[in-house]
Protein backbone atom coordinates (compact mmCIF):
# COMPACT_ATOMS: atom_id res chain seq x y z
CA UNK A 1 0.00 0.00 0.00
CA UNK A 2 1.35 3.43 -0.96
CA UNK A 3 2.59 5.59 1.92
CA UNK A 4 -0.01 8.32 1.19
CA UNK A 5 -2.86 5.85 1.57
CA UNK A 6 -1.49 4.59 4.88
CA UNK A 7 -1.33 8.14 6.28
CA UNK A 8 -4.92 8.86 5.26
CA UNK A 9 -6.16 5.64 6.88
CA UNK A 10 -4.35 6.40 10.13
CA UNK A 11 -5.88 9.90 10.30
CA UNK A 12 -9.33 8.43 9.75
CA UNK A 13 -8.93 6.01 12.67
CA UNK A 14 -7.80 8.88 14.97
CA UNK A 15 -10.86 10.98 14.04
CA UNK A 16 -13.21 8.05 14.67
CA UNK A 17 -11.66 7.38 18.13
CA UNK A 18 -12.00 11.00 19.20
CA UNK A 19 -15.67 11.11 18.15
CA UNK A 20 -16.48 7.89 20.04
CA UNK A 21 -14.89 9.18 23.27
CA UNK A 22 -16.97 12.39 23.16
CA UNK A 23 -20.15 10.37 22.61
CA UNK A 24 -19.50 8.20 25.70
CA UNK A 25 -18.86 11.26 27.89
CA UNK A 26 -22.07 12.95 26.76
CA UNK A 27 -23.99 9.77 27.42
CA UNK A 28 -22.71 9.54 31.03
CA UNK A 29 -23.53 13.19 31.70
CA UNK A 30 -27.10 12.66 30.47
CA UNK A 31 -27.51 9.54 32.68
CA UNK A 32 -26.93 11.42 35.99
CA UNK A 33 -30.30 11.81 37.75
CA UNK A 34 -31.11 13.85 40.89
CA UNK A 35 -34.24 12.59 42.67
CA UNK A 36 -35.89 13.35 46.04
CA UNK A 37 -37.52 10.56 48.00
CA UNK A 38 -41.26 11.49 48.43
CA UNK A 39 -41.33 9.73 51.84
CA UNK A 40 -38.21 11.56 53.06
CA UNK A 41 -37.99 15.07 51.48
CA UNK A 42 -34.59 15.70 53.10
CA UNK A 43 -33.08 12.62 51.40
CA UNK A 44 -31.40 13.39 48.06
CA UNK A 45 -30.49 10.40 45.88
CA UNK A 46 -27.78 10.84 43.25
CA UNK A 47 -27.77 7.92 40.79
CA UNK A 48 -25.76 7.19 37.66
CA UNK A 49 -26.06 4.55 34.98
CA UNK A 50 -23.38 2.55 36.81
CA UNK A 51 -24.99 0.88 39.90
CA UNK A 52 -21.75 0.75 41.85
CA UNK A 53 -21.52 4.57 41.82
CA UNK A 54 -24.92 5.12 43.53
CA UNK A 55 -24.75 7.24 46.71
CA UNK A 56 -27.13 8.97 49.14
CA UNK A 57 -26.85 12.25 51.07
CA UNK A 58 -29.00 12.95 54.16
CA UNK A 59 -29.67 16.58 55.10
CA UNK A 60 -30.33 17.12 58.81
CA UNK A 61 -32.09 20.18 60.19
CA UNK A 62 -30.52 22.09 63.13
CA UNK A 63 -33.24 20.76 65.44
CA UNK A 64 -32.22 17.22 64.58
CA UNK A 65 -28.53 17.94 65.17
CA UNK A 66 -28.94 19.40 68.67
CA UNK A 67 -30.84 18.07 71.69
CA UNK A 68 -31.61 19.76 75.00
CA UNK A 69 -31.47 17.53 78.06
CA UNK A 70 -33.56 18.16 81.16
CA UNK A 71 -32.04 16.04 83.96
CA UNK A 72 -34.37 14.66 86.63
CA UNK A 73 -33.22 15.99 89.98
CA UNK A 74 -34.18 13.99 93.07
CA UNK A 75 -33.77 15.01 96.73
CA UNK A 76 -30.95 13.31 98.62
CA UNK A 77 -33.01 13.07 101.81
CA UNK A 78 -36.42 13.71 103.29
CA UNK A 79 -35.20 16.66 105.37
CA UNK A 80 -37.57 19.67 105.50
CA UNK A 81 -36.88 22.31 102.86
CA UNK A 82 -35.49 25.81 103.44
CA UNK A 83 -38.29 28.18 104.45
CA UNK A 84 -36.83 30.99 102.30
CA UNK A 85 -35.77 33.17 105.21
CA UNK A 86 -32.06 32.83 104.40
CA UNK A 87 -30.79 35.15 101.67
CA UNK A 88 -27.36 35.74 100.04
CA UNK A 89 -24.95 38.05 101.86
CA UNK A 90 -25.15 41.69 100.79
CA UNK A 91 -22.15 43.12 102.70
CA UNK A 92 -18.48 42.23 103.01
CA UNK A 93 -17.61 40.17 106.08
CA UNK A 94 -14.45 39.68 108.12
CA UNK A 95 -14.88 35.92 107.70
CA UNK A 96 -16.35 33.76 104.97
CA UNK A 97 -19.01 31.15 105.46
CA UNK A 98 -18.05 27.58 104.59
CA UNK A 99 -21.06 27.21 102.27
CA UNK A 100 -23.04 28.99 99.56
CA UNK A 101 -25.41 30.77 99.30
CA UNK A 102 -24.33 32.78 102.33
CA UNK A 103 -26.80 34.26 104.86
CA UNK A 104 -27.32 38.01 104.95
CA UNK A 105 -25.64 38.33 108.37
CA UNK A 106 -21.86 37.91 108.64
CA UNK A 107 -20.39 35.03 110.65
CA UNK A 108 -18.92 35.80 114.04
CA UNK A 109 -15.75 33.80 113.36
CA UNK A 110 -14.07 31.47 110.91
CA UNK A 111 -15.69 28.03 110.45
CA UNK A 112 -14.61 25.16 112.67
CA UNK A 113 -14.08 21.68 111.27
CA UNK A 114 -14.58 18.55 113.29
CA UNK A 115 -14.73 14.79 113.17
CA UNK A 116 -18.42 13.93 113.30
CA UNK A 117 -20.94 11.12 113.17
CA UNK A 118 -24.58 11.01 112.15
CA UNK A 119 -27.21 8.36 112.75
CA UNK A 120 -30.68 8.22 111.15
CA UNK A 121 -33.75 7.37 113.24
CA UNK A 122 -37.38 6.65 112.47
CA UNK A 123 -38.41 10.25 113.15
CA UNK A 124 -35.19 12.23 112.99
CA UNK A 125 -31.43 11.93 113.37
CA UNK A 126 -28.48 12.72 115.66
CA UNK A 127 -25.18 14.47 114.93
CA UNK A 128 -22.09 14.21 117.14
CA UNK A 129 -19.38 16.90 116.91
CA UNK A 130 -16.06 15.93 118.47
CA UNK A 131 -14.65 19.48 118.66
CA UNK A 132 -17.73 20.84 120.42
CA UNK A 133 -18.09 17.67 122.54
CA UNK A 134 -21.84 17.68 121.96
CA UNK A 135 -24.67 15.66 120.45
CA UNK A 136 -27.50 17.43 118.66
CA UNK A 137 -30.87 15.71 118.26
CA UNK A 138 -33.00 16.67 115.24
CA UNK A 139 -36.59 15.56 114.70
CA UNK A 140 -38.68 15.74 111.53
CA UNK A 141 -40.95 18.35 113.11
CA UNK A 142 -38.13 20.89 112.71
CA UNK A 143 -36.94 20.95 116.33
CA UNK A 144 -33.45 20.39 117.72
CA UNK A 145 -31.93 19.81 121.17
CA UNK A 146 -28.32 20.04 122.29
CA UNK A 147 -26.71 17.59 124.75
CA UNK A 148 -23.21 17.35 126.15
CA UNK A 149 -21.46 14.14 125.11
CA UNK A 150 -20.78 12.50 128.47
CA UNK A 151 -19.92 9.04 127.20
CA UNK A 152 -16.39 7.87 128.10
CA UNK A 153 -14.53 4.76 127.07
CA UNK A 154 -15.26 1.81 129.31
CA UNK A 155 -18.88 2.69 129.96
CA UNK A 156 -21.65 0.37 128.83
CA UNK A 157 -22.22 0.99 125.12
CA UNK A 158 -25.80 -0.30 124.94
CA UNK A 159 -28.58 -1.89 126.98
CA UNK A 160 -28.71 -5.65 126.32
CA UNK A 161 -32.25 -5.77 127.71
CA UNK A 162 -33.50 -3.54 124.90
CA UNK A 163 -34.18 -5.53 121.72
CA UNK A 164 -34.83 -3.48 118.59
CA UNK A 165 -37.57 -4.58 116.16
CA UNK A 166 -36.46 -6.39 113.03
CA UNK A 167 -34.55 -4.10 110.66
CA UNK A 168 -34.01 -1.42 113.31
CA UNK A 169 -31.15 -0.71 115.72
CA UNK A 170 -30.48 0.42 119.28
CA UNK A 171 -28.06 3.39 119.23
CA UNK A 172 -24.80 2.84 121.09
CA UNK A 173 -22.06 4.81 122.88
CA UNK A 174 -22.75 8.57 123.06
CA UNK A 175 -25.88 8.45 120.90
CA UNK A 176 -27.18 5.49 122.90
CA UNK A 177 -26.57 7.18 126.24
CA UNK A 178 -28.51 10.32 125.24
CA UNK A 179 -31.29 8.16 123.76
CA UNK A 180 -31.64 5.88 126.80
CA UNK A 181 -31.33 8.57 129.49
CA UNK A 182 -33.85 10.98 127.93
CA UNK A 183 -37.31 9.50 127.54
CA UNK A 184 -38.46 12.49 125.47
CA UNK A 185 -35.64 11.96 122.96
CA UNK A 186 -36.38 8.25 122.72
CA UNK A 187 -40.05 8.97 122.09
CA UNK A 188 -39.30 11.71 119.56
CA UNK A 189 -36.84 9.72 117.45
CA UNK A 190 -37.88 6.09 117.80
CA UNK A 191 -35.37 3.36 116.89
CA UNK A 192 -32.32 3.89 114.71
CA UNK A 193 -32.63 3.03 111.02
CA UNK A 194 -28.94 2.22 110.59
CA UNK A 195 -25.48 2.42 112.14
CA UNK A 196 -23.51 5.61 112.82
CA UNK A 197 -21.98 7.29 109.76
CA UNK A 198 -18.62 8.98 110.29
CA UNK A 199 -17.64 12.11 108.32
CA UNK A 200 -16.00 15.54 108.66
CA UNK A 201 -18.44 18.27 109.59
CA UNK A 202 -18.15 22.04 109.82
CA UNK A 203 -20.02 24.52 111.98
CA UNK A 204 -20.19 28.29 112.30
CA UNK A 205 -22.28 30.99 113.97
CA UNK A 206 -23.73 34.31 112.85
CA UNK A 207 -22.90 37.60 114.52
CA UNK A 208 -25.57 38.60 117.01
CA UNK A 209 -25.94 41.14 119.81
CA UNK A 210 -27.17 38.33 122.06
CA UNK A 211 -24.46 35.79 121.39
CA UNK A 212 -26.01 32.92 123.33
CA UNK A 213 -29.04 33.00 121.01
CA UNK A 214 -27.23 33.29 117.69
CA UNK A 215 -28.04 31.10 114.65
CA UNK A 216 -25.64 28.21 114.04
CA UNK A 217 -24.87 26.35 110.81
CA UNK A 218 -23.81 22.69 110.71
CA UNK A 219 -22.90 20.45 107.77
CA UNK A 220 -24.76 17.14 107.78
CA UNK A 221 -23.49 13.82 106.47
CA UNK A 222 -25.20 14.26 103.07
CA UNK A 223 -23.58 17.70 102.60
CA UNK A 224 -26.65 19.77 103.41
CA UNK A 225 -26.22 22.79 105.68
CA UNK A 226 -28.56 22.91 108.66
CA UNK A 227 -29.50 26.27 110.19
CA UNK A 228 -30.27 26.07 113.90
CA UNK A 229 -32.33 28.94 115.27
CA UNK A 230 -32.34 28.81 119.11
CA UNK A 231 -35.32 29.29 121.37
CA UNK A 232 -33.09 28.66 124.39
CA UNK A 233 -29.50 27.67 125.03
CA UNK A 234 -30.39 23.99 124.56
CA UNK A 235 -32.83 23.90 121.68
CA UNK A 236 -34.91 25.55 119.01
CA UNK A 237 -35.94 25.21 115.37
CA UNK A 238 -33.98 24.14 112.31
CA UNK A 239 -34.25 24.28 108.50
CA UNK A 240 -31.99 23.46 105.55
CA UNK A 241 -29.91 26.54 104.67
CA UNK A 242 -28.15 25.11 101.60
CA UNK A 243 -27.74 21.83 99.74
Q: HEC profile for the chain?
A: CCHHHHHHHHHHHHHHHHHHHHHHHHHHHHHCEEEECCCCCCEEEEECCCHHHCEEEECCCHHHHCCCCCCCCCCCCCCCCCCCCCCCCCCCCCCCCCCCCCCCCCECCCCEEEEEEEEEECCEEEEEECCCCEEEEEECCCEEEEEECCCCCCCCCCCCCCCCCCCCECCCHHHHHHHHHCHHHHHHHCCECCCCEEEEEEEEEECCCCHHHCCEEEECCCCCEEEEEECCCCEEEEEEEEC
Q: What local confidence, expressed as pLDDT, does residue 13 receive?
A: 59
pLDDT of the residue at 75? 33
The answer to whether 207 and 214 are in contact (CB under 8 A) is yes
**Average pLDDT of adjacent 10-residue blocks, the chain of 243 residues:** 60 60 47 41 38 32 30 37 52 87 89 97 97 96 96 92 95 96 96 96 83 84 94 90 86
CA distance 200 to 129: 9
Predicted confidence at residue 214, as pLDDT, reads 84
Enter the pTM of the model.
0.63
Per-residue confidence (pLDDT) for residue 136, from 0 to 100: 98
pLDDT at 64: 33
pLDDT at 181: 95
Omega prior to 101 cis, within 30 of 0: yes
Amino acid sequence: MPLQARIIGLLAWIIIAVLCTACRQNSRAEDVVHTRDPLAPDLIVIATSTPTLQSTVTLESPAEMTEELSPNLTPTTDLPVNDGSLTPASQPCSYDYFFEPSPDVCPSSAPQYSAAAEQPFERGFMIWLETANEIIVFDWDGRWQRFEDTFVEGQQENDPDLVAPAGLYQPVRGFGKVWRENAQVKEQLGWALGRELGYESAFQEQQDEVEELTISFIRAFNGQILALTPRSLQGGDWVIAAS
